[in-house]
Structure formats: C-alpha cells, structure tokens
C-alpha cells in the first residue's frame, strides 16, 4: 500500500481554482471510496455555488488572454500536458483503478486514449480555418472566421475518469476557451491530478478549474444561469442531459451532449465466429460493461447462435473477478452499491420473466461492490434488461432469422450511440452500416473509440461530437464579416 499512499498524497484534494488547490468556501469535504473494498480513499473539497461563481469569475478573467494566446502556444501547452500525463501513466492508471475500479490494464488503456485527446487537439489548435469567397452578386467579399465560444462548463461521468475530461478540455483549450470541469462525485481525483499536471506545464491560472461537488444540480444550475458562461458539454445519462438541455435554453447556451446508449451487437451467420466472440468480450466486458458504448443487446443469427452462445459463455465464465489492482483480475468491481443493485434488479427481473442464466447471475459475497460476469438468454422482449442500459458485466443474447429483422430490432430504441456487427460479406457490411440509425458503427470490431474520429450519438444519445477534426467545432463560433 506504500505506492498507493504516496500516490494519494500527490493528488490535490482541494478544489482546483486559480491554478492551485483551494478549500470550499463552506469548508465542506466528501469522501472518495475504493469500490473494491468500500473503504474511504481520501476526502476532497465539496464545491458549492459560491465556489462555482469564483471559478467562472476566474475563467472570465483568464479567458480573454487565453483566447488571444497564439494557437501554437496553446498547442504546445496541450502537447506538454500529453507528455506529462504519459510520463505519469502508471500514477494515472492506478488512481483510476482505485477510485473507479476497472482493472489496471484497462486503466492504462484509458491513459493512452485519454492523453491522446490532448495530443490530437494540440495539433488541431493550429488548424482552425475560416474561408473567404466573393459574393455571388459580385458586390463584396464574404469572410468567415472562427472564434472561441467563451467560458465552458464540462460535466463528466465516473466511468472514464480521465478520457471523458480530456475529450472536452483538449478541444476547449485548443479553441481558446477557458473551461470549468465538474467531475463525477465518485471519481474526482483523476481530474484533480490532471489539473495539477496542466499547472505544472504552464497553463495560466483560471483557464482550467475543477470543482468536485455533491451538489451537481445546484452548482451547474448556478453556472448555466450566469450569462457569462457560453457553453456546456455534458457526458452522462440521457435523463440528466435532457434536464441540462432545458436549462440551457434560458441563456441559449451552446451544448454538446454525450448521453446514454443501448448498443446492438449483431452477429450474422457468415461472421468469423472466433473474431465475433473476441469482439463481444471487448464490446461487453471492457470497463466492466460500464460504458455508453457497451454491447447492450447481442443479436445473433440463429444458425450461428448455439455455437456463439457456448463460446461466449465459456469466455465469460473463465473471467477472474477481483480488485482491479490485483494482478490476474479480469474484471473489477462495479462503481458503487447503487449500481450493483441496479444491475442485479435487471437480471433478477429477467430471470423471473423466464430468462436462462448460462453463467453468473448473482452478486459476489466479498467486500466492495462486485457482480459476477453474467450471460443470459431468453429475456422477455418487454423486460427492462432488453431496453435499458445495463451498465454492468451482463451479456444478453437473443436470436434473429433475417438481416431485415436484425436491423429493425437494432433500431427499435430511442438511443443511437454505438452499434456493432460482424459479417464477412462486403455488400452486407455496406448495407447494414447505412441502415443502422446510430452515430457510430463498428464493422467486425468490438472497440471503436479513437481520438481522431468523431464520437457522438443521434436520437436520445446526444448532440454534437467529440474528437476528430470535428470535435473542436463544438468550441468555436462562426462569424461572418462582410467586406467590400
Ligand atoms: P449521470 O448522468 O448520473 O452523471 C453524469 C454527471 O452529471 C456527473 O458528473 C453527475 O454528478 C452530474 N449530474 C447528475 N445530475 C445532475 C444534474 N441534475 N445537473 C447537473 N449535473 C448532474 O451519469 P453517470 O451515472 O455518471 O454515467 C453513466 C451515464 O453516462 C450512462 O448513461 C452512459 O451511457 C453515459 N455516458 C455517455 C457517454 C457518451 O459519450 N455518450 C460516455 C460515457 C458515459
């Protein structure tokens, strides 16, 4: 535990304001818990509305100079932050495993992925372009320029404590916007350590603030009703996203919304069975199933279904469960007791309705918040598990006969974030990709996230994209200048 104590000692536990740690105005703190044990890791400052206003005052004060800072310089600071996070990859990985629970190998993967948004946007900072044209009537010139939207608020979930922050901080800073991050209360430590890294590499005070809080609704409402805030970028559940979209109407804020998913994972008879099983393991069990992109509904064509079910069951049953920091764990704990209850309720209801458990299907009797890796079939079509985001290590397989049926069932949801399918038929690959009503489609792949690609959903899964050359647009306004 020495390493852990030294690491925790190096993480700021105050709010991150004006380039350094600060106590909350109220003096309040709250506990961050290790989900593998239920023990308190450390207490952090609990921001209130007064602290939020202070963060916005500082963002406004620092924002003008940041917007005027040369894009090359902004890019260099982002690049230096990428280097610094990469140099401390082991610390970031362990910290995420401690506060969120995922296994260390996946935390390391998230450090690579999350840091890459800083490098990617360090490169995009110098590639913000406008355009010019002669007016068609020949009466003047049309000049289009891009400008930073201004102070931004980022609200992030607990499932990817680093990457969900860097996906917003990277483009905001590259575009010239100051940003206030409200991390999830379960996992505030990673963002606090990141803020320190940014300060160490020379980010001016006030450009990035981090305000952990147990009063998310009050703090975000206070900021969003202040006309100086110009942007809110949220990643989290669709219910909270809807509430924030409503709130954003009063000040007509720019919004980016990365919301819930209900990803179909379709396996056609002509698929490579082994590749499809590998892909399903990744799409379902990566991050303990706690991902918006997680395969929520595994739809398998009936010809291949028995073999696929048997192979996936064997893989899931062989997973070893334990604290994410123990070598040999394939699956860590679920984030908290409430989430275990939610997963258990979904499975229990499905089983009561006639579903068959092939492996797992129960909590684990040990300290912390563990649920056995599970595979079920035969869940009733109207059961909650067939339509709700599971957000846990539970695979649900059902069969289909035709391509048209698979597409219809895949699209029969209010969500439209990630989707996956496996086939060896190129025509089918093109046809099904076009027909899936999703912002993202993985073809013969179980993981699709890439900082260089636009990540985002349609329908109730959100508005806007993060990453890619498109991601920075979310933090830019378009201005038209009419010239003679
Ligand atoms: P959540 O909506 O409960 O919380 C997300 C964040 O919003 C947290 O920081 C929380 O403190 C804050 N929050 C909660 N209520 C709020 C309110 N009334 N006003 C302002 N802020 C509020 O979601 P979660 O449980 O932390 O995360 C899981 C959800 O996030 C899932 O639905 C998942 O699909 C989604 N998610 C989406 C993406 C994506 O990119 N589309 C990525 C990861 C997670």
Q: Is 354 exposed, middle or buried (0-12, 13-18, 19+ CB in 10 A)?
A: exposed
The ranges of the chain annotated as CATH 3.40.605.10 are 2-259+461-483
Assigned token pair, 145 = 């320029």
- DSSP, collapsed to helix, strand or coil, labels residue 113 as helix
Q: Whose CA is nearest to atom 35 of ligand 1?
A: 236
Distance 281 CA to ligand 1 centre (A): 24
Query: Under CATH, which architecture does the 2-259+461-483 domain have?
Result: 3-Layer(aba) Sandwich (3.40)
Spatial separation of the C-alpha atoms in residues 464 and 458, rounded to whole Å: 8
Distance 206 CA to ligand 1 centre (A): 25
Q: Is 258 a catalytic residue?
A: yes
Tell me, using a 6 A CB cutoff, whether residue 217 lines ligand 1.
Answer: yes
Q: Whose CA is nearest to atom 23 of ligand 1?
A: 236
Superfamily of domain 263-450 in the CATH hierarchy: Aldehyde Dehydrogenase; Chain A, domain 2 (3.40.309.10)
Assigned token pair, 114 = 């999350």
pLDDT at residue number 36 = 98
Spatial separation of the C-alpha atoms in residues 287 and 100, rounded to whole Å: 10
Q: Minimal CA–CA distance to 182: which of 211, 140, 202, 152? A: 211
Active-site residue, from 185, 258, 403, 473: 258
Spatial separation of the C-alpha atoms in residues 22 and 209, rounded to whole Å: 11
Query: Ligand 1 atom closest to Cα of 219?
Result: 20
Spatial separation of the C-alpha atoms in residues 232 and 251, rounded to whole Å: 11
Longest dimension (CA), the chain: 77
Q: How far is CA 373 from CA 201, 286, 298, 355, in A?
A: 42, 11, 15, 16
pLDDT at residue number 292 = 97
Active-site residue, from 292, 389, 466, 473: 292
Distance 462 CA to ligand 1 centre (A): 12
Tell me, using a 6 A CB cutoff, whether residue 248 lines ligand 1.
Answer: no
Cβ 185 vs Cβ 100: under 8 Å: no
Distance 239 CA to ligand 1 centre (A): 9
Spatial separation of the C-alpha atoms in residues 358 and 26, rounded to whole Å: 51
Residues in the chain where the model's pLDDT stays below 50 = none
253-271 as b/e: b if 16+ CB within 10 A: bbbbbbbbbbbbbbbbbeb
pLDDT at residue number 2 = 57
Residue 83's φ and ψ, nearest 5 degrees, are -60, -40
Tell me, using a 6 A CB cutoff, whether residue 462 lines ligand 1.
Answer: yes
Q: Is 177 a catalytic residue?
A: no
The model's pLDDT over 147-157, given as tens digits with 9 standing for 90+, comes to: 999 999 999 99
Residue 295's φ and ψ, nearest 5 degrees, are -65, 105
The ranges of the chain annotated as CATH 3.40.309.10 are 263-450
């Amino acid at each position: 535990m020495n390493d852990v104590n030294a690491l925790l000692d190096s993480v700021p536990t105050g709010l991150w304001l004006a380039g350094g740690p600060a106590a909350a105005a109220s003096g309040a703190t709250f506990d961050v818990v290790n989900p593998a044990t239920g023990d308190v890791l450390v207490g952090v400052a609990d921001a209130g509305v007064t602290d939020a206003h202070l963060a916005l005052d500082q963002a406004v004060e620092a924002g003008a100079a940041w917007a005027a800072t040369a894009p090359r310089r902004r890019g260099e600071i982002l690049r230096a932050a990428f280097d610094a996070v990469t140099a401390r990859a082991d610390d970031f990985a362990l910290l995420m495993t401690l506060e969120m629970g995922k296994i260390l190998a996946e935390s390391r993967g998230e450090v690579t992925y999350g840091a890459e948004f800083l490098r990617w946007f360090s490169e995009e900072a110098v590639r913000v372009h406008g355009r010019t044209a002669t007016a068609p009537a020949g009466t003047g010139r049309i000049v289009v320029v891009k400008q930073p939207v201004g102070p931004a608020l980022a609200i992030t979930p607990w499932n990817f404590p680093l990457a969900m922050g860097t996906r917003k901080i990277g483009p905001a800073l590259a575009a010239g916007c100051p940003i206030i991050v409200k991390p999830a209360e379960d996992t505030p430590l990673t963002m606090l350590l990141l803020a320190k890294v940014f300060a160490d590499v020379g980010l001016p005070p006030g450009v990035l603030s981090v305000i952990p809080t147990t009063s998310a609704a009050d703090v975000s409402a206070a900021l969003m009703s202040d006309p100086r805030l110009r942007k809110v970028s949220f990643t989290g559940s669709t219910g909270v996203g809807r509430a924030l979209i409503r709130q954003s109407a009063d000040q007509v804020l720019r919004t980016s919304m990365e919301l819930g998913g209900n990803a179909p994972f379709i396996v056609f008879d002509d698929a490579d069975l082994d590749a499809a099983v590998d892909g399903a393991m990744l799409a379902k069990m990566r991050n303990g199933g706690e991902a918006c992109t997680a395969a929520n509904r595994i739809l398998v064509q009936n010809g291949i279904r028995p073999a696929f079910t048997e192979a996936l069951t064997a893989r899931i049953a062989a997973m070893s469960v334990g604290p994410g920091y123990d070598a040999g764990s394939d699956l860590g704990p679920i984030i908290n007791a409430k989430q275990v209850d939610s997963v258990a309720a979904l499975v229990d209801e499905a089983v009561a309705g006639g579903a068959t458990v092939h492996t797992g299907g129960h909590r684990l009797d040990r300290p912390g918040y563990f649920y056995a890796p599970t595979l079920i079939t035969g869940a009733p079509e109207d059961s909650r598990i067939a339509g709700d985001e599971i957000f846990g290590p539970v695979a649900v397989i059902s069969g289909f006969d035709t391509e048209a049926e698979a597409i219809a069932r895949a699209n029969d949801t209010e969500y439209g974030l990630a989707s996956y399918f496996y086939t060896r038929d190129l025509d089918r690959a093109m046809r099904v990709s076009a027909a899936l009503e999703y912002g993202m489609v993985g073809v013969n792949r179980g993981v699709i996230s890439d900082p260089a690609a636009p990540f985002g959903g349609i329908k109730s899964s959100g508005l806007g994209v993060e990453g890619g050359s498109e991601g920075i647009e979310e933090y830019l306004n378009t201005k038209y200048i009419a010239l003679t």
